[in-house]
Amino acid sequence: MTSAGRTSATPIRRDSPPGFDVEKIREDFPILRVMAHGKPLVYLDNAATSQKPQVVIDRLREYYRAENANIHRGIHYLSERATEAYEDARAAVARFLNAAEPREIVFVRSTTEAINLVAQSYARPRLQPGDEVVISAMEHHSNIVPWQIVCEQTGAILRVVPINDAGELVLAEYERLLGPRTKFVAMVHVSNALGTVTPVRRIVELAHSRGVPVLLDGAQAAPRLPVDVRALDCDFYAFSGHKAYGPTGIGALYGKASLLEAMPPYQGGGDMILSVTFEKTLYNVIPFKFEAGTPHISGGIGLGAAVDYVSGIGLERIAAYEGDLLAYATDALAAIPGVRLIGTAKEKVGVLSFVLEGVHAHDVGTILDREGIAIRTGHHCAMPVMQRFGVPATARASLAFYNTRAEIDALAAAMHKVRELFG
Amino acid sequence: MSDLRDLYQEVILDHNKAPRNFHRLEGANRTAEGHNPLCGDQVRVYVLLADDRIGNIAFQGSGCAISKASASLMTASVKGKTRAEAEALFHAFHKMVTGEGGAAFDAGGLGKLAAFSGVREFPIRVKCATLPWHTLRAALEGRQEPVSTE
Ligand SMILES: Cc1ncc(COP(=O)(O)O)c(C=O)c1O
Structure confidence by residue, pLDDT tens digits, A253-272: 999 999 999 999 999 888 88
Do the Cβ atoms of B4 and A367 come within 8 Å?
Answer: yes
Question: Which phi and psi (to 5°) does residue A14 adopt?
Answer: -140, 160
Lowest mean pLDDT of A228-242, A348-362, B50-64, B106-120, name the range: B106-120
- B103, pLDDT greater than 90: no
H or E stretch covering A379: none
The band of A10, judged by pLDDT with boundaries at 50, 70 and 90, is very low
A381 is an active site residue: yes
Whole-number mean pLDDT of chain B?
A: 91
Q: Where are the beta strands (DSSP E) in A302-416?
A: 339-342, 351-356, 373-374, 376-378, 394-398
Kind of pairing between the strands at A251-255 and A273-276: unpaired
Indicate whether A246 pLDDT > 50.
yes
Q: What's the rounded Cα separation, in Å, for the pair A187 and A207?
A: 11
Query: What is the distance between the alpha carbons of residues B113 and B92, in angstroms, rounded to a whole number?
Result: 10
On the question of pLDDT at A5 being above 50, the answer is no
- List CB contacts (< 8 A) between B38 and chain A: 378
Give the pLDDT band of residue A16 (cuts 50, 70, 90).
low
The count of C-alpha atoms lying within 13 angstroms of the C-alpha of B50, restricted to the half-sphere facing its C-beta, is 8
Q: What is the pLDDT of residue B41?
A: 85
Beta strands in A211-338 (DSSP E): 214-217, 236-240, 251-255, 273-276, 281-283
Tell me how far apart the 2 most distant CA atoms of chain A are, in Å: 77
Query: A140 C-alpha to center of ligand 1: Å?
Result: 7
- pLDDT of residue A354 exceeding 80, the answer is yes
Pairing, β A281-283 against β A157-161: unpaired
Q: What is the pLDDT of residue A224?
A: 98
**Chain A: residue whose CA lies nearest to B4:** A367
Mean pLDDT of A328-357: 97
Q: What is the pLDDT of residues A160-183, one digit of tens each?
A: 999 999 999 999 999 999 999 999
pLDDT per position as a tens digit, A80-91: 999 999 999 999
Would you state the pLDDT for residue A272? 83
Domains of chain A, first to last: 22-33+314-421 (3.90.1150.10), 56-312 (3.40.640.10)
Query: Where residue A17 falls among pLDDT bands split at 50, 70, 90?
Result: low
Mean pLDDT of all residues belonging to chain A: 94
In B2-150, alpha helices (H): 2-7, 10-17, 65-78, 83-98, 126-141
Q: Which of A188-192, A279-283, B13-17 has the lowest mean pLDDT?
A: A279-283
Cis peptide before A287 (omega within 30 of 0): yes
Note the pLDDT of residue A7: 41
Contacts of A62 (CB under 8 A, 6+ apart): none
Distance CA A123, CA A182 (A): 11
Which of B49, B28, B24 shows the shortest CA–CA distance to B141?
B49
Report which DSSP code applies to A119: I
Q: Looking at the partner chain, which of B3, B7, B63 has a beta carbon nearest the beta carbon of A360?
A: B63
For the cut 60, the answer to whether the pLDDT of residue A351 exceeds it is: yes
Instruction: Give CA–CA dist B56/A5, Å, rounded.
Output: 47
Mutate to test the pocket of ligand 1, among A45, A49, A112 (most ligand atoms within 8 A of CB): A112
User: Are A44 and A369 in contact, with CB atoms under 8 Å apart?
Assistant: no
Map out the domains of chain B as residue ranges.
2-145
Residue A400 has pLDDT above 60, yes or no: yes
Give the per-residue SS3 of A142-164: HHCHHHHHHHHHHCCEEEEECEC
The answer to whether ipTM exceeds 0.95 is: no
pLDDT of A13 > 50? The answer is no
pLDDT exceeds cutoff 70 at B16: yes
**Proportion of chain B in helix, strand, coil states, percent, rounded to 5:** 50, 20, 25
> B65: which chain A residues are within 8 Å (Cβ-Cβ)?
359-360, 363, 422
What mean pLDDT is predicted for residues A60-73? 94
Q: Which residues of chain A lie closer than 8 angstroms to B63, CB-CB? A: 360, 362, 392
Q: Which of the listed CATH numbers 3.40.50.410, 3.90.1010.10, 3.40.50.2020, 3.20.20.105 matches domain B2-145?
A: 3.90.1010.10
Confidence of residue A113 (pLDDT cuts 50, 70, 90): very high
Give yes or no for residue A3 having a pLDDT over 60: no
CA-closest candidate to residue B122, choices A10, A180, A366, A251: A366
For residue B2, what pLDDT band results from cuts at 50, 70 and 90? low
Q: State residue A280's pLDDT score.
A: 86
Report how far residue A15's alpha carbon sits from residue B47's, in angstroms, rounded to the nearest whole number. Answer: 60
Q: pLDDT tens, A272-323?
A: 888 888 888 888 899 999 999 999 999 999 999 999 999 999 999 999 999 9
Strands A35-36 and A39-40: antiparallel
pLDDT over 90 (residue A144): yes
Selection from A272, A253, A256, A252 nearest residue A264 by Cα: A272
Ligand 1 center to B40 CA (angstroms): 19
Q: Which among A359, A378, A392 has CB closest to B62? A: A392
pLDDT score recorded for residue A276: 87
Residue B146 has what DSSP assignment?
P
DSSP designation for A17:
P
Tell me the β-bridge partners of A163: A169
For residue A26, pLDDT beyond 80: yes
Mean pLDDT, residues A52-76 taken together: 94
Cα of B13 to nearest chain A Cα, Å: 7
Per-residue pLDDT at B1: 56
**Strand boundaries in A50-126, DSSP class E:** 105-108
Q: Looking at CA atoms only, how far is residue A414 from chain B in angstroms?
A: 11
